[in-house]
Structure 1
Amino acid sequence: MAVKGGGCGERRWRKVVAVVKDDSGDDCAGGEDIDDNPIDQVRLTVPITDDPSLPALTFRTWVLGIMSCCVLAFLNQFFGFRQNPLSVSSVSAQIVVLPLGVMMAKTLPTKSITVPFTKWKCSMNPGPFNVKEHVLITIFANCGANAVYAVNIIAIVMAFYHMQISPLSALLLSQTTQMLGYGWAGIFRKYLVDSAYMWWPSNLVQVSLFRALHEKEKRPKGGFTRLQFFLIVFVGSFSYYLVPAYLFPSIASVSAVCLIWNKSILAQQLGSGLHGLGIGAFGLDWSTVSGFLGSPLASPGFAIINILVGFFLFAYVIVPLCYFNNVYDAKRFPMISSKTYDFEGKKYNITRVLNKKTFDIDVAGYENYSKLYISMFFVFSYGLSFATLTAALSHVALFHGKTIYQFWKKTTESLKTEGDVHTRIMKKNYATVPQWWFHTILALMVVLAIFTCEGFGKTFQLPWWGILLACAMAFIFTLPIGIITATTNQQPGLNVITELVIGYIYPGKPLANVAFKTYGYISMTQALNFVGDFKLGHYMKIPPRSMFIVQLVGTLVSSTMYWCTAWWLLTTVENICDASKLPEGSPWTCPGDEVFYHASIIWGVIGPGRMFTKYGVYPELNYFFLVGLLAPFPVWFLSKKFPKKKWIKQINMPILLGGVMQIPPARSVNYLMWGAIGIYFNFYVYKKHRSWWARHNYILSAGLDAGVAFLAILLYFTLQSKEILGPHWWGLSTEDHCPLATCPTAPGIVAKGCPVH
């Protein structure tokens, strides 16, 4: 291979032997200098050959793709309501469908069949299972793996506010919030996909995995193939999970401190892994490790260290200092809780401040009751969300600003030419997706979104102008945040900004607040997911129209499956999400939805004007915007002053500040176990056994996830759905036997089961 050229802005050339098919079907090979991609990582990872004759959107693609989409959507929503929610990624499907596709290629008939009532003919088995089919099936699976944010709205309406809701309105809400992003994706794909400088680093991992899976593999002597290893891990994980899921749930979080000092509030606050700081706590359950933060095996080592540094700084220094000094009357409430409280330390009585007829704030009731208070950890969770937003912007500007500017300048110039080798191959071999397809979906989704919010008795409270304002915010932010994501692999979120904007403009409306946030924030996120997948298809030479169809169908199928699963559980599991009424051992505590519910009270009912200004309890949290903005500057300065100290550049303030935001609903034990496993595999195993790590690490992660998921489903349908939750004994509790950890310590505050100081 011959390479010419210098910096990233210059043309790169390499001598290749490209194998393609000519019109006659004969193989043609030739050595020539080809204008390549300007990004080094892309040149080293992505092949510049293509075989347009390979079938992509086949019968196997539809069957395995829709099956993967449905299974992942069902599993992720099913686990979303549980004590330790488990996120099953598309990597599991990516690995599992490969042998299934090969098996179908060997067993299905090859004879063409005619589609009923049409002249179309297709074969159930057009030849060997190929990588293009595999990519499209994975795109289907990605649709199922991406959670439907709007389901949180449905859950809080039904399980927390105890309101009736139309199934059709809930379904339309799920689908419109997911589909709206297609419009922004279509508008900006020219810049974010066709440009060689928008290179989407995360896609290179997928490209590498596809190439590895489709290379011929021999079982190493004394070892296993990747598939054999996956099956061994799957069986082991499946079998072991019977213990924490049914026989001994308490081992999901064990606190040695609480077991020794079972009558001390201070000891339990320090030792509880679920309601305290987790000192000495551990969990023997994979869902404890990966439930909130994802699999530590799939997380970069530098990110793990940044998150743990942030966790230790806030959990063991800042929060205890503030709590024990009674900042914001913190001793009146638990140290860690996602609930809302009044000044007396009791659960905030939302019925006293919410007008039942109009379902908005009763100002007189609020003024005669109490300001709203939250736990100390929840206070810092919101403060850090403010800081993370501005830290992401300043970090990107300082460390990547020059690169982004150069890439954007080159992008605008390159669009006037034919583009890099990948763009030229795609334009030459495949028909592009007409722009009007995207515009039609955008217009249709906006109309349906307005109908969803204005119709059905205005259940979601958001008026038509709120939909248009949310769309305007998504439109404005999609391109700049897309450029940041495509060049740095970091994606600042709009959730805080959207909550703030609608909270000030339209206060007192809880469902309007969460609906606006979903339409503004999630439509942008979905747009970037679609564009990122399009770039993956661009690299893997997938016909764009096939990509579009798969994404469209996959989004419709996944949003419907998420809605069906949520509706089924919300209407069949008695007292779902109400931990005080659930039987002992029941996993249906909905930790994520509880946080979402209390956020709707904070941002919607009470509003930021009564929370984060002089009229509320927490006006100082606004300084976190400034803290986040300034935080990356010292790191940037030190990286310039000591350029040989490579570790300085690994300090990522947005990750360090933002990593702790998962608490609540995540708990201390989740961070401690996630960090311990992550450090072991991403540092020790990676350095000492690198070949094993490269071959088995991600497959180990997928096997552990899959085993837990399938055993949990089996348990539910065979036993738990019949209220058989496990043997009744001390270890059946899903708590960590630290009941005093949630007790207030302020004098005179009364709480159930707690001593009064």
Structure 2
Amino acid sequence: MKDFTDTRSESEWDSVSYGDNEISIVPQVELTVPKTDDPTSPTVTFRMWVLGISACVLLSFLNQFFWYRTNPLSISSVSAQIAVVPIGHLMARVLPTRRFFEGTRWSFTMNPGPFSTKEHVLITVFANSGSGSVYASHILSAVKLYYKRRLDFLPALLVMITTQVNIDFVFIVIEFLGLGLCVLRIFFLVLCCKVLGFGWAGLYRKHLVDPGEMWWPSNLVQVSLFRALHEKENKSKWGISRNQFFVITLITSFSYYLLPGYLFTVLTTVSWLCWISPKSILVNQLGSGSAGLGIGSFGLDWSTIASYLGSPLASPFFASANIAVGFFLVMYVITPLCYYLDFYNAKTFPIYSGKLFVASGKEYNVTSIIDANFRLDRKAYAETGPVHMSTFFAVTYGLGFATLSASIVHVLLFNGKDLWTQTKGAFRKNKKMDIHTKIMKRNYKEVPLWWFLSIFAVNLAVIVFICIYYKTQIQLPWWGAFLACLIAIFFTPLVGVIMATTNQAPGLNIITEYIIGYAYPERPVANICFKTYGYISMSQSLTFLSDLKLGTYMKIPPRTMFMAQVVGTLVAVIVYAITAWWLMAEIPNLCDTSLLPPGSQWTCPSDRVFFDASVIWGLVGPRRMFGDLGEYSNINWFFVGGAIAPALVYLATRLFPNKKWISNIHIPVLVGATAIMPPASAVNFTSWLVMAFVFGHFVFKYRREWWQRYNYVLSGGMDAGTGFMSVLLFLTLQRSEIAIDWWGNSGEGCAVAKCPTAKGVVVHGCPVF
């Protein structure tokens, strides 16, 4: 067994097991992550570059492809993680082994030997860069599809590609060509914000990566799969290896998705209550999984289950329990109470909706209140009247306020001492570290902090230059960029602790919108940019920190990991933009629910909410919505409630130390459980919670060995099979509008769930009371 005081050189460390008697503080990590390392294993290879870039491009395309769909399944890097294995082994057999440029510092070989786990991990890091979405797609949709403004793609792509070369020259050339720059610069700013996240990641590595308590649950899916795909194993007592189990899951998931994805789409949302009385508004409101409370509603479709909350198989049980309680309180207590007591004229609007309305209950015509300068036309706004929301939408904004204050108080009370101790000890030697961190510190050089800070400083300088030089197009003043960055720096450790322990991350989108909406109102582009700086840079930093933790688990040299993250980010942004533009040209009436055929999957729920938020916070402004000029001012009390709740839980843990379940009450997760509603709907939660409880509690508790062996493999197989079949269906059938018209493809059957119930309100397709 290797002692960490051993002074042997790295060349003597072949494949050594460290600290087998040292147990990780988190049981799931102890069961999943190996305590071994081989520093001589090939890492940066020709195979890694080819497969890594290919995986990044493929996943960026797939995730942007799904982003506009009703259930925007986020395909994780697990799919690419599996697919590259046979290709990697094939390349190891057929590529030439001779060394190029031998005798020089550039010497390399295309085939250094067997396909290694570390190559595989770096390929997966590239894939992680494409495993999600980017705010640029939201901005594209808002400007081009909702605000109906012109947007040319070619100069936007050129700006993104050449920003690292000579930004000023590119802008001068594009201006000379007479192309619109407002939205083009937004593209560039989004790219900068993605890279800005590296700065935060560098600052908080000591707090959010090194400690064993910061275990980043979603990474265990990938660790489990790496072991399944590379370790030799015999068949288990169930008669099947993990590799075989994955292949069976992938094939089954791939084949099954033909039903909910094309042949029998009602399986995506089974709202059986509506079948009892399809014309009753009350029954529809109670039973609809997509437009109501979703009582008894469920989805037999993995994209429905995993689209918004991620894989239920990767969620710790205590986090799932908090989400369940939060969802139940919001959906089955607060929402019905507010609606049927007619708070904020709730009955004039649908019980569940993310759209904006006029006082009469009809949908708001936003374009009618915008002037020629892309600002609020106050006269037109006074004539049209104030913007109204469904009560559910207003409450979710309030819960967003509460989540923000709850996150701050919770982390300060429950993790403040640890954070302070880690801060004081960040520069000390001989710090107490997790076993996996010890291995990394012993074997590899850290990434210098100045690498992270240099990237941050350069990008911040460029952004400030853009804000000053192109102020009329961007609308955001230079001080806005600094303020947004300060917000992100402050909240990253708070939100990071929650993400690293629960797999759930409350966002900063609301607070950033709120601040700039008051400071610089009636400018929707400024609001979007500020939110991107403050929210997305923090979100990106959490992604980078998660990758760093994966590198710790899999013993990847930190500097190599840094390189893969930077390159992967740049590639992903370009592919996201190309895919979004292609879909906008390829799909008629994309995102326009009034013109799309019934049952269409291209409804863009996330983009709709983003557009509505830009109207609420940017165009109209928080003062006219939540301030002294608005009717929703009482929503601000949620800030106070969110701050008090964690303090009460903390007090309870001190008064009743023997009641261990009290410490599992996680107010930010509980209150923020429905932060993604809308666009998420009730069926996404009900289906997710069933799976989360089955695998996170019952299987983990009573079938621990099965869970350890197959749980994360099952999650990856479901992701991969569903994703591949979805794209195949679109390219072969849906793209050509080849559809099957029958009852099973006619929707959930809750047509009147969106109808108001107030007397005298007239809405097309709804009865009048």
Common fold by TM > 0.5? yes
RMSD: 3.2
Correspondence for 2:286 among 245, 270, 273 = 270
Task: Provide closer, same or farther for how the CA distance between residues 26 and 602 of structure 1 changes in structure 2, counting only shifts above 3 A.
Answer: closer
Q: Distance in 2 between matches of 1:573 and 1:302?
A: 42
In structure 1, the residue matched to 2:100 is 113
CA contact (8 A) 2:512 2:535 kept: yes
CA contact (8 A) 2:225 2:712 kept: no
Correspondence for 1:310 among 313, 320, 326 = 326
Q: Distance in 1 between matches of 2:684 and 2:277?
A: 22
User: Which letter maps to 1:156?
Assistant: A
User: Which letter maps to 2:51?
Assistant: L
CA contact (8 A) 1:158 1:164 kept: yes
Correspondence for 2:51 among 64, 67, 71 = 64
Q: Mean Cα displacement is larger for which, 266-275 or 126-135?
A: 126-135
Correspondence for 2:358 among 310, 328, 342 = 342
- Structure 2 matches for 1:241-640, cutoff 5 A? 241-355=257-371, 357-414=372-429, 430-433=444-447, 437-450=451-464, 458-478=472-492, 491-640=505-654
Deviations 1:102-132 (A, max 9, x none): 34323333222359xx973322210122222
Structure 2 gaps of 5+ residues are: 157-183
Task: Provide closer, same or farther for how the CA distance between residues 403 and 414 of structure 1 changes in structure 2, counting only shifts above 3 A.
Answer: same
* 1:477 to partner: Cα distance: 4.0
Task: Provide closer, same or farther for how the CA distance between residues 307 and 127 of structure 1 changes in structure 2, counting only shifts above 3 A.
Answer: same
* 1:643 to partner: Cα distance: 2.4
Task: Provide closer, same or farther for how the CA distance between residues 44 and 21 of structure 1 changes in structure 2, counting only shifts above 3 A.
Answer: farther
In structure 2, the residue matched to 1:738 is 750
User: Which letter maps to 2:342?
Assistant: N
In structure 1, the residue matched to 2:118 is 132
In structure 1, the residue matched to 2:66 is 79
CA contact (8 A) 1:19 1:27 kept: no
In structure 2, the residue matched to 1:185 is 201
CA contact (8 A) 2:285 2:291 kept: yes
Q: Distance in 1 between matches of 2:307 and 2:16?
A: 50
CA contact (8 A) 1:348 1:372 kept: yes
In structure 1, the residue matched to 2:655 is 641
In structure 1, the residue matched to 2:169 is none
CA contact (8 A) 2:312 2:689 kept: yes
* Structure 1 residue 661 corresponds to structure 2 residue 675: yes
Task: Provide closer, same or farther for how the CA distance between residues 524 and 586 of structure 1 changes in structure 2, counting only shifts above 3 A.
Answer: same
Deviations 1:358-394 (A, max 9, x none): 1111122222321111112111110100011111122
* 1:510 to partner: Cα distance: 1.4
In structure 2, the residue matched to 1:729 is 742
Deviations 1:641-666 (A, max 9, x none): 33232222222111111111222111
CA contact (8 A) 2:278 2:284 kept: yes
Correspondence for 2:77 among 73, 90, 102 = 90
Q: Mean Cα displacement is larger for which, 510-519 or 439-448?
A: 439-448
Task: Provide closer, same or farther for how the CA distance between residues 425 and 685 of structure 1 changes in structure 2, counting only shifts above 3 A.
Answer: closer
CA contact (8 A) 1:200 1:485 kept: no
In structure 2, the residue matched to 1:11 is none
Deviations 1:423-442 (A, max 9, x none): 78656754554555434433
* 1:551 to partner: Cα distance: 0.7
DSSP-derived class of the 2:78 partner: helix
Deviations 1:308-333 (A, max 9, x none): 11112121111111111111001110
Q: Distance in 2 between matches of 1:602 and 1:224?
A: 54
Correspondence for 2:91 among 94, 104, 108 = 104
Q: Mean Cα displacement is larger for which, 390-399 or 575-584?
A: 390-399
In structure 1, the residue matched to 2:162 is none
CA contact (8 A) 1:453 1:462 kept: yes
Q: Mean Cα displacement is larger for which, 141-150 or 182-191?
A: 182-191
Q: Distance in 1 between matches of 2:466 and 2:274?
A: 49
Q: Mean Cα displacement is larger for which, 324-333 or 404-413?
A: 404-413
Q: Distance in 2 between matches of 1:626 and 1:178?
A: 32
* 1:141 to partner: Cα distance: 1.6
In structure 2, the residue matched to 1:753 is 765
In structure 2, the residue matched to 1:9 is none
* 1:474 to partner: Cα distance: 2.7
Q: Distance in 1 between matches of 2:15 and 2:527?
A: 59
* 1:199 to partner: Cα distance: 4.9
Q: Distance in 1 between matches of 2:16 and 2:628?
A: 73
Task: Provide closer, same or farther for how the CA distance between residues 143 and 252 of structure 1 changes in structure 2, counting only shifts above 3 A.
Answer: same
CA contact (8 A) 1:384 1:661 kept: yes
DSSP-derived class of the 2:600 partner: coil
User: Which letter maps to 2:407?
Assistant: A
- Structure 2 matches for 1:695-734, cutoff 5 A? 695-724=709-738, 726-733=739-746
TM-score between both structures, scaled by the size of structure 2: 0.88
In structure 2, the residue matched to 1:10 is none
DSSP-derived class of the 1:753 partner: coil
CA contact (8 A) 1:16 1:34 kept: no
* 1:491 to partner: Cα distance: 4.9
Task: Provide closer, same or farther for how the CA distance between residues 452 and 155 of structure 1 changes in structure 2, counting only shifts above 3 A.
Answer: farther
Q: Mean Cα displacement is larger for which, 102-111 or 286-295?
A: 102-111
* 1:219 to partner: Cα distance: 2.4
Task: Provide closer, same or farther for how the CA distance between residues 101 and 563 of structure 1 changes in structure 2, counting only shifts above 3 A.
Answer: same
Q: Distance in 2 between matches of 1:585 and 1:470?
A: 40
Q: Distance in 2 between matches of 1:36 and 1:53?
A: 24
Q: Distance in 2 between matches of 1:202 and 1:545?
A: 23
Q: Mean Cα displacement is larger for which, 568-577 or 336-345?
A: 568-577
* 1:283 to partner: Cα distance: 2.2
Q: Distance in 1 between matches of 2:219 and 2:709?
A: 17
* Structure 1 residue 159 corresponds to structure 2 residue 159: no
Task: Provide closer, same or farther for how the CA distance between residues 715 and 615 of structure 1 changes in structure 2, counting only shifts above 3 A.
Answer: same
DSSP-derived class of the 1:145 partner: coil
CA contact (8 A) 2:135 2:532 kept: yes
CA contact (8 A) 2:26 2:212 kept: no
Q: Distance in 2 between matches of 1:129 and 1:28?
A: 16
Deviations 1:55-102 (A, max 9, x none): 211112112211221222111111110011101112333333334333
User: Which letter maps to 2:276?
Assistant: I
Deviations 1:607-662 (A, max 9, x none): 11111123101111111001111112332233233323222222211111111122
Task: Provide closer, same or farther for how the CA distance between residues 488 and 701 of structure 1 changes in structure 2, counting only shifts above 3 A.
Answer: closer
TM-score between both structures, scaled by the size of structure 1: 0.89
Percent identical residues: 51
* 1:27 to partner: Cα distance: 5.9
CA contact (8 A) 2:78 2:720 kept: no
Q: Distance in 1 between matches of 2:498 and 2:311?
A: 24
DSSP-derived class of the 2:626 partner: coil
* 1:304 to partner: Cα distance: 1.7
